[in-house]
Chains A and B, each alone.
Chain A
Amino acid sequence: MLEKSVCLATLTFLVALGLGACASPPEEPEALLAPTEEQMKIRNLQTRTFDIADRRIAMLGVIAALQDLGFIIERANEPLGLVTAARFAEPNYYDAVGITVTVRPLNEKQTTIRANAIFNNQPITDPEVYQNFFATLERSFFIGRN
């Protein structure tokens, strides 16, 4: 009887081990705070300047663009120019993406918008993602003004 239960435990362990193989192994931690050239590239990807003088108008455009992309607005703070939003994959709910957008005046006529996105808690470095976001944002500004 004991042998039998030990056996079951072993089998359950093996099944669990098999499931463990589904998850990817943890990656080596990088030098977390060291500035790199890669970081500068990502920062350039994440930043765009728009010819909009009013920060509030820019923020409303950002919110509208995020909503059109199916994001849920989680936080918005006008004085700080901050918008946080999230979205999860449908119909499987395992993947989630989060985005923080900061809107800052560059000079009297222009506004800088920076977007940081994470996918399943990993920073997104894919240029296409940010290009898509800014394309939707431009569209949103264009519609908003007409």
Chain B
Amino acid sequence: MPITIRSSRQWPSGCSVRALATAWRLGREWVALLAIGSLWGIACAGPKTTSIELFRLTPDGAANKAMQTRQFETPNSDELLSASAAVLQDLGFQVTESDRSVGFLRAAKERSAREYGQEIRRDIVAFLTLLLGAAGRANTMYVMPVDLHQQINASLIAQPIDDGDQRQTVRIVFYRLVWKGSGSSGNQSIPPGEQKMEMIRDATIYQQFFARLSKAVFLEAHKI
């Protein structure tokens, strides 16, 4: 990575070899900074996924499909779709997208994503880095950004299984987007907005949804 002239011009004058030499003398700060830097480095150099891998059927695909899918013995796909929308509304979702003819629904809800585990971990890391900083008489306290806000999404497809349209299958996928809150490293704050996505693989959430749906349409939900 070449150092551009533009960025070196922004440095204050007099800070070059002399400043770096001082840095060597302040060994502890150096170590603390390196530790934080390498933590980031690990996150950056995580395993890379290729596009081909994302287009392969995976072994856990069948289990996921079974969890996300139920069959209903009814010819009325519209009723099933509107009941699904009603159940999602009951669960606090807002329907954001729909298409009747292919039996498609998408819904979202926004909630807080704060967890005790993360807050405790953040406090421990902050305390340890504070101690490290105190030993080196500098502010190296690292406050980890934690999950603050989440958007839970559902994507649902209700479609007939056979040509006779006597049975319908409903498949729903829940996933969430999580936004991390602001943390800080020493005197510098880490800007908020870091985001991650996660599939929801908790079977009970799917079971709850289908239990409500089968109640709503007065039909039994059959596992595939």
Contact of A12 with B33 at beta-carbon distance under 8 Å, contacts A72-B175, A75-B97 already known: yes
Q: C-beta contact mask, B22-40 vs A, less than 8 Å → 1, else 0?
A: 1100100110010011001
Interface size on B, residues (CB 8 A): 59
Interface presence of B204 (CB below 8 A) = no
User: Cβ of B51 and Cβ of A15 under 8 Å apart?
Assistant: no
Query: Counting CB contacts under 8 A, is A42 at the interface?
Result: no
Main secondary structure of the interface of B (DSSP, over half): mixed
Partner of B55, one of A17, A67, A88, A133: A133
The residues of A that contact B106 with a CB separation of less than 8 Å are 73-75
| Additional pairs, 6, CB under 8 Å, beyond known A10-B20, A69-B56, A76-B99 | A3-B22, A8-B29, A15-B33, A79-B101, A126-B52, A133-B55
* Stretch of B58-66, B80-88, B214-222 contacting A (4+ beta carbons < 8 Å): B58-66
| Interface: B5 (CB within 8 A) | no
Contact (A17, B1) CB under 8 Å given A8-B186, A68-B65, A72-B155: yes
**B18 to A, closest residue via Cβ:** A3
Interface-side segment among B117-125, B142-150, B191-199, B205-213: B191-199
Given contacts A4-B22, A7-B23, contact A19 B49 (CB under 8 A): no
Query: Contact residues of A with B, CB < 8 Å?
Result: 3-8, 10-13, 15, 17-22, 56, 59-60, 63-64, 67-70, 72-79, 87-90, 92-97, 117, 119, 124, 126, 128-129, 132-133, 136
